[in-house]
């Protein structure tokens, strides 16, 4: 499989705030604060995000959580590569 | 991580996609895969390993430890409607149980397909409950711990 080209620094969007349903401009708040208000809770929609990823057999590519909408997803956070547990 | 990778076939059979995420870069993920994970599990970790540099995503999911600069162990089950069904967050010294994860996925899938609810410790094939007026005060007749 051909290697996907990748540089040293590659921005990813990180948390993606939901698009506001009304077209009204946000009152007072900057977009950054909107991201801060996003919070994962059971029974609520999963906060979307985009992150750079390593995928075996593919290489490096950005992955968006909502790319997997329609499937069951298990999202696992862990403290770091080469940790012991 | 390796424990989930080793049972990836079971997750696939349940229609589950797994995503792993830490604050490490994609480059470190690649080398961990090559140097260690591929020696623990045949073929290594088959699912995407995501990078949360800066912990912004972990913050939104309530797992980012600012003092340590890492995402602690947290796992989330998200259903096909993109709704979070379960979360489990542990401090770093104890690993998670793939058995319990698979049990919860099967229970949520069963509930989604049937509208039934699953009592404590439910395993596939065991009794489920049909919530409704008829069951009020009668759970003891069909289920005991």
Mean pLDDT (chain B, rounded): 94
Query: Do the beta carbons of residue A74 and residue B19 sit within 8 Å?
Result: yes
Query: Taking a contact as any Cβ pair under 8 Å apart, which residues of chain B between 84 and 123 contact chain A?
Result: 84-87, 92-96, 101, 105, 109
Query: Do the beta carbons of residue B21 and residue A55 sit within 8 Å?
Result: no
What chain B holds in terms of domains, given with CATH numbers, is: 2-114 (3.40.30.10), 116-145 (no CATH)
Q: Which residues in B lie closer than 8 A to residue A44 (C-beta atoms)?
A: 83-84
End-to-end CA distance of chain B: 32
Query: Do the beta carbons of residue A78 and residue B121 sit within 8 Å?
Result: no
pLDDT digits (tens, 9 = 90+) for A30-82: 555 555 578 999 999 999 999 999 999 999 999 999 999 999 999 999 999 99
Looking only at Cα atoms, what is the longest distance across chain A? 49
Question: Which residue carries 């470190």 as its tokens?
Answer: B28
Strands B49-51 and A14-16, by their bridges, are: unpaired
pLDDT digits (tens, 9 = 90+) for B56-93: 999 999 999 999 999 999 999 999 999 999 999 998 78
- Pick from A46, A47, A71: CB nearest B15: A71
CB atoms within 10 A of CB A30: 9
Q: How far apart are CA B58 and CA A44, in angstroms?
A: 17
Q: Which residues in B lie closer than 8 A to residue A75 (C-beta atoms)?
A: 19, 21, 61, 75-76, 78
| DSSP string for B73-97 | EEEEEE-TTSBEEEEEEE-TTS---
Question: Rounded to the nearest 5 degrees, what angle is found at the Cα of A38, between the Cα atoms of A32 and A42?
Answer: 170
Q: Give the residue extent of every domain in chain A.
A: 1-85
- pTM, two decimals, is 0.87
DSSP conformational letter for A5: P
- Pick from A40, A56, A81: CB nearest B61: A40
Q: Do A52 and B56 touch (CB under 8 A)?
A: no
């Amino acid at each position: 499989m051909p290697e996907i080209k990748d540089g040293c620094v590659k921005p990813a969007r990180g948390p993606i705030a939901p698009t506001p349903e009304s077209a009204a401009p946000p009152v007072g708040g900057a977009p950054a604060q909107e991201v801060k208000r996003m919070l994962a809770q059971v029974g609520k929609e999963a906060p979307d995000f985009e992150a750079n990823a390593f995928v075996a057999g593919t290489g490096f590519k950005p992955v968006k959580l909502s790319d997997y909408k329609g499937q069951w997803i298990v999202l696992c956070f862990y403290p770091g590569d080469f940790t012991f547990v | 991580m390796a424990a989930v990778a080793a049972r990836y076939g079971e997750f696939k059979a349940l229609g589950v996609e797994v995503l792993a995420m830490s604050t490490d870069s994609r480059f470190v993920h690649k080398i961990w895969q090559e140097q260690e994970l591929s020696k623990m599990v045949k073929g290594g970790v088959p699912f995407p390993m995501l990078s949360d540099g800066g912990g912004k995503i972990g913050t939104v999911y309530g797992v980012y430890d600012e003092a340590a600069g890492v995402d602690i162990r947290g796992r989330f089950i998200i259903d096909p409607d993109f709704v979070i069904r379960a979360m489990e967050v542990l401090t770093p010294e104890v690993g998670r149980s793939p058995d319990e994860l698979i049990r919860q996925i099967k229970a949520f899938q069963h509930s989604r397909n049937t509208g039934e609810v699953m009592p404590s410790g439910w395993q596939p094939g065991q009794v489920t409950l049909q919530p409704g007026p008829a069951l009020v005060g009668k759970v003891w007749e069909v289920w005991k711990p």
